[in-house]
Amino acid sequence: MSIREPEGSVVLRLDGVSKAYGSVQALNGVSLALVPGQVHCLAGENGAGKSTLIKILTGAVSRDAGEYLINGDPVTHATPAGLRSSGVQAVYQELSLLPHLSVAENLFMGRLPSRAGVVDSRELHARSRRALDEVGLHDVSPDAVVERLSAATKQLVEVAKVATADTVEVIVFDEPTTALTEAESERLLEQIRAFQRQGVAILYVSHRLEEMFAIGDWVTVLRDGELSESGPMSDYDEDRLIRAMVGREVSSLYPDEERSTTEARLQVTGLRRTPDSPAVDLEVRGGEILGIGGLLGSGRSELLLSLFGAEPPVAGEVRVDGRVIHPDAPASMMRAGMALLTEDRKVLGLLPELSIRENVTIASLRSGTRSSILPSKAAAAEADTLLDSLRIRAGSYDQPVSTLSGGNQQKVLLARWLLTRPKVIMFDEPTKGIDVGAKGELYDVINDLARRGLAVIVVSSYLPELLGLADRIIVLADGAVAGELDRGASEEDVLRLASGASDDSPSSGSGAMHPVLPVTHVPVTRQNIEEVPNA
């Protein structure tokens, strides 16, 4: 174990910081030093203590022990407002923007320029224009309503909001690229480099190791709430960083084994999401993992929602184990043996105020109890057994599910669906926001589900994951099946089909090219989503 401190004048220092939540020790004697003009990466598995450290650093929670210093001065009573005025700013994965207000109002909320008690609209517009231009948003109007902006633009507006603060000495970036494409992520990273050149100290937190190596000068690794290693990023390669994070070798994230397959468990013929959308055909055998790839907006998630009845299709036939099922509602698809783990587990998945056990049993209430209000003792015991088998890291299954790390929350959703005994299980971006150690565990679980004879569908925008997990991949382009690839295909093969390139003979793959037709996006309605058990 190597623990070093970066050279140079330290603008922010945490020394021997500890924090416990009841019997759970979230942080134990952790130290951190941030230097102006340096990007300091914070790495660790889910549950390692990163979120708690950020909350202490930004004043969201108080520390139990240890020192907090800014420019050598001790911080005794840390509050978010007090730390912001001292120059400690933060850009979070879940944005703090108010969606129904304008960009300008969001940028200067709480400090709107005024004249004689009335907001000075001209000055507000001018200041907002300068702030947006500084982060490269030249084409975004200060008067634009935030909810109409793309995810990437919202993230950069959040960055611009931070940049307008009176004092900016430290900026914490907490998983800022989770919802962004590769090009959008690079745009954000370039903005972070601009802050770095201005002498701002950056604390960067991400599960994407490639981003850490691209932008990091220094790295601190947490493991089980304690300081594991700290040193220059140049001292690390991916293998060493993973070892420091998980405390063991991760030789291969993706299970590599031959599985026997059975007859088709899911057959989809001529499925059309809307009258104008192209027809989709697919088949998944028992024991098989089918990957679905495509560019952003290609219709991958929408296809899963249609198959699950959350966005009922207008045409086509769906068969589960040879029986025709009408995907008119999630409830009917559940009864047929279909399960869906949605991309956004916090919005369309977890019920944060309920306990871990209640989140698991809620999809099975009708089969577990007469009253459909509380799970039976047998259902609760079965849920606990499932949670144990998935190695959920929790002090008690009665604690709120919101207290769990991202990886453990995903396991809770998986346990919920396994309790319904599905025949076909669909994963939409299963490892979004999950660290490398938890990814390996989840990949093993997905592989085990296929080994047990389930038909598994995985949608992922992370190509190494798609290629590593899937036995076959179908690639969508504008809602249509652009082609099919066998195991052993390359990232270039997927991208060629996804982008509609003219080369009809990818180096790997077998499916014929299908015509690409325009597809009309149909938003998920509240009426439909309220029927989804993991919604």
The tens place of each residue's pLDDT in the chain, 535 residues long, gives 678 888 889 999 999 999 998 777 889 999 999 999 999 999 987 678 898 999 999 999 999 999 999 999 999 888 998 999 999 999 887 677 888 999 999 999 888 888 888 888 999 999 999 999 888 888 899 999 998 887 778 888 988 898 888 889 999 998 888 767 677 788 889 889 999 999 999 999 987 888 899 999 999 999 888 999 999 999 998 888 888 887 765 556 677 777 889 999 999 999 999 999 999 999 999 999 999 998 777 889 899 999 999 999 999 999 999 999 999 999 899 899 999 988 766 555 678 778 888 888 887 665 444 444 455 677 778 888 888 877 777 778 888 888 887 778 878 888 888 888 899 999 998 887 676 667 777 888 899 899 999 999 999 887 888 888 999 999 998 899 999 999 888 888 888 888 765 444 444 343 333 333 333 333 333 333 333 333 3
Q: Same domain, yes or no, for 324 and 429?
A: yes
**For residues 433 and 176, what is the distance between their CA atoms, to the nearest angstrom?**
10
Tokens matching residue 43: 């790495």
Q: Same domain, yes or no, for 456 and 504?
A: yes
Q: Same domain, yes or no, for 282 and 180?
A: no
Asked whether residue 132 is assigned to any structural domain, the reply reads: yes
**For residues 95 and 56, what is the distance between their CA atoms, to the nearest angstrom?**
19
Residue ranges making up the domain that contains 140: 100-165
Q: Structural domain tally of the chain?
A: 3
Asked whether residue 515 is assigned to any structural domain, the reply reads: yes
529 phi, psi to nearest 5 deg: -65, -30
Q: Same domain, yes or no, for 54 and 177?
A: yes
**For residues 51 and 41, what is the distance between their CA atoms, to the nearest angstrom?**
13
Q: Same domain, yes or no, for 465 and 522?
A: yes
pLDDT at residue 365, as a whole number: 62
Asked whether residue 187 is assigned to any structural domain, the reply reads: yes
Residue 470: which of 443, 495, 496 has the closest Cα?
A: 443
* Helix, strand, coil share (%) of the chain residues, nearest 5: 35, 25, 40
pTM of the shown model? 0.60
**For residues 469 and 89, what is the distance between their CA atoms, to the nearest angstrom?**
39
CA atoms within 13 A on the CB side of 190: 9
Q: Same domain, yes or no, for 206 and 118?
A: no
Q: Same domain, yes or no, for 425 and 447?
A: yes
Asked whether residue 93 is assigned to any structural domain, the reply reads: no
SS3 at position 27: strand
Asked whether residue 340 is assigned to any structural domain, the reply reads: yes
Is the separation of the CB atoms in 532 and 340 below 8 Å? yes
Q: Same domain, yes or no, for 309 and 432?
A: yes
Give, as one character, the DSSP assignment of residue 498. H
pLDDT at residue 62, as a whole number: 93
pLDDT at residue 486, as a whole number: 92
Of 144, 165, 186, the residue at which a domain comes to its end is 165
Q: Same domain, yes or no, for 305 and 395?
A: yes
Q: What is the CATH number of the domain that holds 448?
A: 3.40.50.300
Of 223, 252, 281, the residue at which a domain comes to its end is 252
Q: Same domain, yes or no, for 156 and 209?
A: no
Q: Same domain, yes or no, for 158 and 244?
A: no
Of 252, 286, 311, the residue at which a domain comes to its end is 252
Asked whether residue 534 is assigned to any structural domain, the reply reads: no
Residue 163: C-alpha distances to residues 132, 171, 249, 262, 326 (Å): 10, 9, 40, 57, 52
Q: Same domain, yes or no, for 285 and 140?
A: no
Asked whether residue 92 is assigned to any structural domain, the reply reads: no
Asked whether residue 94 is assigned to any structural domain, the reply reads: no
DSSP codes joined into one string, 319-355: EETTEEE--SSHHHHHHHTEEEE-S-HHHHT--TTSB
